């Protein structure tokens, strides 16, 4: 497809030159014809008349088509001849990319209650992770130079063509025509074989295929239908309306220049031409917005200062391959709506990209929804030039150091790049309940999250929990994070408070290296956050009606324990499995340490399960404090309104929370409840299933777990200390469960030396020494002695911080001692009988 050979070069005219300085390159047909090749314009008009009946606009917009016809024009004051620049799409590349993209969401959660080696689950996550780790290259049509993408499976992938290699040396301004189809499934769009960027004369067919999707965009065809003047008037009005909004938003007096731009916009009317010396930037915009939203229109508009002070652009400043950057691990990231240095290129600063990536022809109607959900295809109104530009520049210039700049891409070049203001610059409602202000998105919400003004590009969905979606994202400085997004709308207030509390806990736990670290967060409903943070939470009835999200930027974890476990079991030959004790010790200790950290902070997690331990750079870290509770200073338990947790890991008291026990005391949850959950996790690590996995319904589980006489079955294990450890955690009576400091000293983690060698340990207690000499070879007796020894010699480590007063703690120690003495007595007695 070398149609560029056929593209007639435009004659170099003074009008062409002057158009370089025209800010909004939205010249009317008449302007076009006067300022450009008359033949060219006639072509355009003829084509539009023939192929753009108004009624077909939407249906035609279904077609993701074409067309980049960048045309070089000389700079003002230069005498360089025009060149035709061709940009190509590579459908093969698109296919590759999209195939990978379809794998994005594979890393979902595995069931909490993992049974041994469920292959499908294991396979899914493993593949996802493996693939994530393995960058691959997508080579497209070899005839098309330099498509060289490093991609991550599961990532939202942006391709980058090295446009500069498609382009002749850029000597002057370029004219670019880009058509983006829309209304098409994005993947289909991107793979659509017709999505070729053709370099061609602007012929009828091209124009026919050009998609003018947005009603407020001036469509040339409407002009051809004789309504141009009214549309122009509308357009001008709309544009002024936008300006008004912007002015309100940024509070600046830009009325004069805005008026000017409005005038320019309206008189220039619509054309799909961009004249700039910085064509790469245009491509960059094209490329960016085309990513995923292949069917998008893009409106490009010059920045205000450019309009106000049109300058020809020096070539050197024009070619700034900054639209995409390649970050570590081969992730290609585009820098979509991120203009670079404002000062260097008038074209840069002139870009306003409206990426109306609606899939099914939705326009304004879907904006609200799209804004609510970044997953939806979104209309991206970008008004960066007026107020957000400095921020954006600041935000992303920081990325430079780690970035391998690439020339702009034409990958998704089925763009319809329109150079006019558009109503599609959708306002983004500030999501606060009251006083919602209107601001405009200056980024592609389909590709980016903005948290506290910082952009994070989506690389893929990691998983979703009961209440959230978690994405892998990359920041401007190329750091990978997990971004947890919780939708507030429709939730009851207490749940929403809980989510905000998670932020509170994570803030409190900052710097603790076995807790996932919160990098940044934003609660769009400021009132809600304020209430939680100030502790003035009055549980309101009803549900949250306003759109609102909680965004949490977190350290990124490679894999969670649930998936590690299923992988482990998958790798074992199930007929001949035996647990790897060192592996178990290694991770069990980390689990204990993580939970110890929060217990020391008087936080009960309440939802401990393998999926909530993440492997971050080789260490397990605890996540998901969504239902965690702080223990009030005057108690050892937390108050819960309802049963919470994940069934398979819920303690008996969590099931019976707030009920009365046999003595009429209210059953409460506290740290022992977490210990029970840990016992379930340990059990699962040992046997590959949770202790009550065979009871599948809620009621069956409820019944058996709350039955104190139910005996948990333990399969044989080679190490009796391991068995003992599980029993210590899964004692039905919460007072009998060991606390974490004890568990960290348990002989499974700290194996005892042989009885003879351990005798000196008992030196401090003659009674124990005597007993150990007599019965030390018996496993159970030596275990009991060991526990007794610990209470006697190191009671401090046994003190439970859950007990508020020293007296309670002493009583508890004595109770434990008497229980142990009783057990020793019983056991020794039984030995005599054997």
Considering the complex, state which of residue 625 and residue 748 has its C-beta at the smaller distance from ligand ATP. Answer: 625
Considering the complex, state which of residue 626 and residue 672 has its C-beta at the smaller distance from ligand ATP. Answer: 626
Three-state DSSP state, 784: helix
Give how many residues touch ligand ATP by CB under 6 A: 22
**CB-CB contact of 209 with 60 (8 Å):** yes
Task: Determine, following the binding rule CB under 6 A, whether residue 258 of this chain makes contact with ligand ATP.
Answer: no
Q: Specify whether 185 is catalytic.
A: no
- Return d(Cα 276, Cα 408) in angstroms, integer: 15
CB of residue 675 to ligand ATP, shortest distance in Å: 19
Crossing angle of helices 766-775 and 806-833, rounded to 10°: 30
**Which residue from 574, 569, 605 is spatially nearest to 685, judged by alpha carbons?**
569
Considering the complex, state which of residue 184 and residue 470 has its C-beta at the smaller distance from ligand ATP. Answer: 470
Considering the complex, state which of residue 461 and residue 761 has its C-beta at the smaller distance from ligand ATP. Answer: 461
**CB-CB contact of 644 with 538 (8 Å):** no
What strands lie across the sheet with 379-380, from one edge to the other? 178-180, 415-418, 297-299, 355-356, 379-380
Residues 474-533 that bind ligand ATP (CB under 6 A): 482, 484, 516
Question: Phi and psi dihedrals of 674, rounded to 5?
Answer: -65, -35
CB of residue 494 to ligand ATP, shortest distance in Å: 15
Measured over the CA atoms of residue 766, residue 768, residue 773 and residue 774, the dihedral's sign is: positive
Q: Which of 31, 91, 467, 501 binds ligand ATP (CB under 6 A)?
A: 467
CB of residue 624 to ligand ATP, shortest distance in Å: 4
Residues 537-596 that bind ligand ATP (CB under 6 A): 554-557, 560
How far are the Cα atoms of 358, 560, 569, 588, 750 from residue 585, in angstroms, in the given order?
Answer: 52, 17, 16, 5, 10
Per-residue string for binding with ligand ATP, 437-466, x by CB under 6 A? Answer: -------------------------xx-xx
Q: Which of 95, 109, 736, 812 binds ligand ATP (CB under 6 A)?
A: 109
- Return d(Cα 114, Cα 421) in angstroms, integer: 54
Q: Is 484 annotated as a binding residue?
A: yes
CB of residue 777 to ligand ATP, shortest distance in Å: 46
CB of residue 113 to ligand ATP, shortest distance in Å: 13
CB of residue 554 to ligand ATP, shortest distance in Å: 4
CA atoms within 13 A on the CB side of 173: 32
**CB-CB contact of 421 with 246 (8 Å):** no
- Return d(Cα 657, Cα 652) in angstroms, integer: 8
How far are the Cα atoms of 362, 721, 734, 763, 776 from residue 780, in angstroms, in the given order?
Answer: 72, 10, 22, 20, 9
Considering the complex, state which of residue 41 and residue 614 has its C-beta at the smaller distance from ligand ATP. Answer: 614
Tokens for 542? 């009803």
Residues 607-666 that bind ligand ATP (CB under 6 A): 611-612, 614, 623-624, 626
CB of residue 552 to ligand ATP, shortest distance in Å: 9
Considering the complex, state which of residue 26 and residue 529 has its C-beta at the smaller distance from ligand ATP. Answer: 529
Residue in 219, 607, 674, 724 annotated catalytic? 607
**Number of residue whose CB is nearest ligand ATP:** 465
Considering the complex, state which of residue 471 and residue 748 has its C-beta at the smaller distance from ligand ATP. Answer: 471
Q: Label the pairing between strands 518-523 and 549-555.
A: antiparallel
**Which residue from 33, 43, 28, 27 is spatially nearest to 13, judged by alpha carbons?**
33
Catalytic residues: 607
**Binding region for ligand ATP (CB under 6 A):** 109, 462-463, 465-468, 470, 482, 484, 516, 554-557, 560, 611-612, 614, 623-624, 626
Residues annotated within the binding site are: 484
Residues annotated within the binding site for ATP are: 484
């Amino acid at each position: 497809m070398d149609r560029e050979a056929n593209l007639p070069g435009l004659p170099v005219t003074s009008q062409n030159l002057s158009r370089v300085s025209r800010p909004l390159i939205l010249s009317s047909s008449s302007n076009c014809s006067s300022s450009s090749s008359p033949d060219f314009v006639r072509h355009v008009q003829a084509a539009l008349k023939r192929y753009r009946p108004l009624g077909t606009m939407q249906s035609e917009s279904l077609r993701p088509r074409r067309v980049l016809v960048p045309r070089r024009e000389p700079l003002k004051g230069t005498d360089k001849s025009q060149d035709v620049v061709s940009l190509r799409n590579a459908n093969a590349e698109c296919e590759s990319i999209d195939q990978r993209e379809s794998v994005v969401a594979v890393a979902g959660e595995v069931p909490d209650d993992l049974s041994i080696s469920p292959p499908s689950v294991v396979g899914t996550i493993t593949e996802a992770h493996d693939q994530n780790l393995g960058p691959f290259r997508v080579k497209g049509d070899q005839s098309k130079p330099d498509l060289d993408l490093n991609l991550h499976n599961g990532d939202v992938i942006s391709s980058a063509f090295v446009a500069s290699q498609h382009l002749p040396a850029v000597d002057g301004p370029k004219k670019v025509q880009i058509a983006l189809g829309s209304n098409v499934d994005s993947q289909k769009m991107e793979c659509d074989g017709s999505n070729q960027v053709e370099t061609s004369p602007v012929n009828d067919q091209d124009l026919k295929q050009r998609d003018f999707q947005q009603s407020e965009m001036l469509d040339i065809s409407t002009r051809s239908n004789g309504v141009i003047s009214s549309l122009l008037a509308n357009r001008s009005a709309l544009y002024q309306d936008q300006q008004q909004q912007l002015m309100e938003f940024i509070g600046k007096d830009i009325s004069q220049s805005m008026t000017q731009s409005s005038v320019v916009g309206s008189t220039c009317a619509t054309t799909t031409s961009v004249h700039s010396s910085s064509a790469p930037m245009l491509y960059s915009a094209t490329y960016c917005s085309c990513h995923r939203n292949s069917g998008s229109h893009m409106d490009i508009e010059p920045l205000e200062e450019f309009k106000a002070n049109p300058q020809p652009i020096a070539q050197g400043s024009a070619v700034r391959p900054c639209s995409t950057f390649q970050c570590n691990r081969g992730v290609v990231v585009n820098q979509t709506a991120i203009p670079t240095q404002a000062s260097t290129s008038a074209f840069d600063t002139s870009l306003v990209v409206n990426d109306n990536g609606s899939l099914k022809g939705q326009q304004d109607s879907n904006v609200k929804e799209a804004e609510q959900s970044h997953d939806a295809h979104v209309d991206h109104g970008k008004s960066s030039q007026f107020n957000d530009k400095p921020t954006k520049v600041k935000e992303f210039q920081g990325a430079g150091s780690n970035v391998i700049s690439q020339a702009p891409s034409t990958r998704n070049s089925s763009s319809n790049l329109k150079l006019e203001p558009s109503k599609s610059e959708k306002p983004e409602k500030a999501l606060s309940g009251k006083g919602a202000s209107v601001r405009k998105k200056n980024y592609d919400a389909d590709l980016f999250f903005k948290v506290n003004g910082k952009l994070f590009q989506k690389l893929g969905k990691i998983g979703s929990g009961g209440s959230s979606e978690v994405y892998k994202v990359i920041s401007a400085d190329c750091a990978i994070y997990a971004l947890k997004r919780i939708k507030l709308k429709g939730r009851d207030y207490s749940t929403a408070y809980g989510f905000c509390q998670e932020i509170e806990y994570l803030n409190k736990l900052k710097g603790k290296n076995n807790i996932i670290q919160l990098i940044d967060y934003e609660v769009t409903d400021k009132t809600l956050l304020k209430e939680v943070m100030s502790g003035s939470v009055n549980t309101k009835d009803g549900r949250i009606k306003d759109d609102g999200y909680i965004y949490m930027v977190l350290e990124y974890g490679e894999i969670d324990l649930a998936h590690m476990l299923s992988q482990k079991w998958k790798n074992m030959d199930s007929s001949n499995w035996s647990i790897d004790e060192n592996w178990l010790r290694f991770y069990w200790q980390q689990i204990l340490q993580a939970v110890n950290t929060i217990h020391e902070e008087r936080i009960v997690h309440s939802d401990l399960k393998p999926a909530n331990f993440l492997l971050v750079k080789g260490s397990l870290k605890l996540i998901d404090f969504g239902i965690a509770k702080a223990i009030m200073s005057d108690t050892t338990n937390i108050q819960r309104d309802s049963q919470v947790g994940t069934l398979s890991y819920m303690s008996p008291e969590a099931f019976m929370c707030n009920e009365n026990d046999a003595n009429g005391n209210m059953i409460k949850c506290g740290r022992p409840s977490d210990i029970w959950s840990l016992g379930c996790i340990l059990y699962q690590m040992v046997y590959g299933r949770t202790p009550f996995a065979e009871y599948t319904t809620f009621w069956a589980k409820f019944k058996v777990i709350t039955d104190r006489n139910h005996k948990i079955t333990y399969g044989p294990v080679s190490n009796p200390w391991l068995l003992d450890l599980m029993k210590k955690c899964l004692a039905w009576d919460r007072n009998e469960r060991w606390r974490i400091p004890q568990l960290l000293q348990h002989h499974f983690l700290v194996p005892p030396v042989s009885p003879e060698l351990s005798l000196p340990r008992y030196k401090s207690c003659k009674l124990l020494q005597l007993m150990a000499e007599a019965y030390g070879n018996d496993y159970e007796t030596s275990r009991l002695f060991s526990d007794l020894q610990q209470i006697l010699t190191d009671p401090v480590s046994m003190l439970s911080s859950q007990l508020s007063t020293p007296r309670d703690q002493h009583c508890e120690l004595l109770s434990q001692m008497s229980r142990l003495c009783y057990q020793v007595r019983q056991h020794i007695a039984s030995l005599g009988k054997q």
